[in-house]
Amino acid sequence: MTDRPPGTGPAADGRVPAGPGPVGIRPATADDLPQIVEILNYTAANSIASFDTRPVSVGERSGWFGQFSHAGPYRLLVAQRGNRVVGYACSGRYRDHEAFRETVEVSIALGTSSRGQGVGTALYRELFECLAGEPVHVALAGIALPNDASVALHRKFGFTEVGVFREYAVKNGQYISSIWMQRPCCR
C-alpha cells in the first residue's frame, strides 16, 4: 500500500504518512485529539503496547485529554508533520495519592510511519525540557514487553529498570508483562 499525502488521514493500515517535511513539536490542542485517538486505536488493535482492548472514541478520551495543560507537570505534546499529528508524548499524574504529587508517569505513541525517524527522541527531549522547572522529582514509565525500541528510547533519556510485572495483564488471550523504569527529574 502506498502512503497518502499528509492531511488525508491514515492509510487503511493505520499508518500516518511519513511524507516530506520536518516534524514540529508543540503542546497539543483539542483539535489534535481525533488524530491522537487514531494513533491510539491503531496501536490498541495491532500490538500489546496499549492495554486498551477495544477502540475508543474522541469523547471517551476527552477526560484523559483534560488532565493536561500548557504549563505545570502534566503536559501533552504532539509531533506534527504538515497538518498531521504523527505522535505524542505526555506526562500525567502517577496516582491520585498526595504522596505522589512529585511523580509523573510518561507515555509516548507514534504513528507507524514515524517510527525510527527520531520523532520519539524529539518528543521526549521537548517533554523533559518542559518538566525541568516543574515540581517533578521522578518520572516513571511502564512498557509492555517485548518492546525493544521503547526500552531503548527510555534508556537514552536516563531511565533505569526498576522491575518487571510478570504476566499481570491479559489481552487477546495473551499474558503481558511490563518493565517499569524511572529517571530522576531535577527542578
**C-alpha span between 81 and 143 (Å, rounded):** 26
* 2: CB partners within 8 A, 6+ apart: none
Per-residue pLDDT for 164 more than 70? yes
Q: Give the chain's domains with CATH numbers.
A: 23-136 (3.40.630.30)
User: Is residue 5 very low, low, confident or very high in pLDDT (cuts 50, 70, 90)?
Assistant: very low
pLDDT tens-digit readout, 26-73: 999 999 999 999 999 999 999 999 999 999 999 999 999 999 999 999
User: Is residue 19 very low, low, confident or very high in pLDDT (cuts 50, 70, 90)?
Assistant: low
Sheet with 84-93, side-by-side order of all strands: 23-27, 75-81, 84-93, 103-110, 138-145, 174-184, 160-171
Provide the 10 A C-beta neighbour count for residue 168: 10
Per-residue pLDDT for 4 more than 50? no
**122 grid coordinates:** 524529539
What pTM was computed for the model? Answer: 0.88
The end-to-end CA distance of the chain, in Å, is: 47
Least confident of 16-20, 37-41, 119-123, 175-179: 16-20
Q: Which residues pair with 105 in a beta bridge?
A: 92, 140
Least confident of 8-17, 71-80, 132-141, 145-154: 8-17
User: Is residue 21 very low, low, confident or very high in pLDDT (cuts 50, 70, 90)?
Assistant: confident
CB 168 within 8 A of CB 177: yes
